[in-house]
Amino acid sequence: MFAHTPHHPGDPILSIQGHYRDDTRPAKANLTIGFYYDEQGRVPDLASVVTARDTVAAHPRTPGYLPMGGDPSYCAAMKTMLFDAEPGSPLFERIATIQTLGGSGALKVGADLLKGLYPQASVHVPGPTWDNHRSIFQGAGFEVGTYPYFDAETGTVAYDALLSHLESLPEYSVVLLHACCHNPTGTDLTPEQWDEVIRVLQRRHLLPFLDLAYLGFAHGVDEDRYLLRALVQAEQPFLLAQSCSKIFSLYAERIGSLSVFCADAELARRLHGQLEAAVRRNYSSPPAYGARIVDTVLRTPELLLQWQDELNGMRERIRQARVALGEALARHDTGGYDWGFLQRQNGLFSYDPGLGKTADRLRDEFGVYILPTGRICVAGVTSDNTETIARAFATVMAG
């Protein structure tokens, strides 16, 4: 039995974490995994979340399974937060939302739903993208294609190639779009570009599946919802996988949501039923704790304000880390290397395939860990390690 089990090489990002932990050099820096770190290099407990935890602890609920779609109060609060949809409004009724196990769980349940509804469709993800996108959609039985996204020559979105690729896809193809803070490139479309993409999606009858793991990390909660608002405005049905992992610093609670924006309320109810059926087949129902915490933050006006401040603070800290690293690099001779990408890119990550080629040297000579693809988690840059990182980057790029 089991003799044919193939070896699993491990997740390329997660397996680096072990090497980093075992690295005994004091001046080491981990810029690999996508965590938001505070200025002390810790994954923070947000004050709004700590208070919400106390509230939840003070009001324990009778244990029992949640409904398949999760905590109804959390789902309603999430719908309002994401779509500005007030309960009872026509818009609210047109959105089917369930609680999910993080953003990954939302992608998986969404993928299963789509496989049931559009068994012949293929899914198209940007090149490059978060590795797990491909695995999740393939795991649901889809063929996964790649559309051009990043132009490494110019360091910008390969916009013309992206548009003409979308034009060439068969009708009813699923197109995965990063709503903001594209992982790994940190390079997003402008509102005008999104508008044009939406026109192509509509003309070609393509189905957008949005991934929103970094709401508020690019420009702000309002600005970062441009794509989903524009899709609603355009009356374009879509799926939205959303994660609370980074934005509430609740990685281990596995909390997120999946929403489907539908043409009318009756369809939304049917979609909700199908989402529940997909959950039932996977894990039956989600855990309660993370949903209660997030629901408490979103429904308590002071906590909501405090969380919004904390989210703005996280974004601002990353922005400052980008500036500080850029300034430190400017004090070194880096052979004329253009570090402008650090300031241009949004969110947790910066991306530079040229720098990625030096990942082994950065690790071996300096204890600075980045991904060999060139993805750098800028949130890992703190005032304590900025100089170490700048010196390492400068040395490997200068010669």
- Active site amino acids: 130, 211, 246
CB atoms closer than 10 angstroms to residue 353: 16
Query: How far does CA 306 lie from the centroid of its chain?
Result: 22
Which residue lies nearer to ligand PMP by CB, 104 or 306?
104
Give which of 31, 385, 396, 36 is closest to 245, Cα–Cα.
36
Phi, psi of 290 (to 5 degrees): -60, -40
Give which of 98, 85, 65, 79 is closest to 255, Cα–Cα.
98
Query: How far does CA 198 lie from the centroid of its chain?
Result: 20
| Residue whose beta carbon is closest to ligand PMP | 102
Which residue lies nearer to ligand PMP by CB, 188 or 390?
188
Quote the DSSP letter at residue 264: S
Interacting positions 197-256 with ligand PMP (CB under 6 A): 211, 213, 243, 245, 256
User: How would DSSP label each residue in 284-296?
Assistant: SS--SHHHHHHHH
From the list 3-11, 100-108, 352-360, 371-379, the region that binds ligand PMP by CB under 6 A is: 100-108
**102 is a site residue for ligand PMP (CB under 6 A):** yes
> What is the size of the binding site for ligand PMP (CB under 6 A)?
12
Binding mask 143-182 for ligand PMP (x = CB under 6 A): -----------------------------------x----
Q: Six-digit token pair at 384?
A: 């304590």
Nearest approach, Cβ of residue 104 and ligand PMP (Å): 3
Binding mask 103-132 for ligand PMP (x = CB under 6 A): xx-------------------------x--
Place of tokens 């496989």: 115
**382 is a site residue for ligand PMP (CB under 6 A):** no
Residue 275 contacts residue 96 (beta carbons within 8 Å): yes
Nearest approach, Cβ of residue 256 and ligand PMP (Å): 5
Residues forming contacts to ligand PMP in the complex (CB under 6 A) are: 34, 102-104, 130, 178, 183, 211, 213, 243, 245, 256
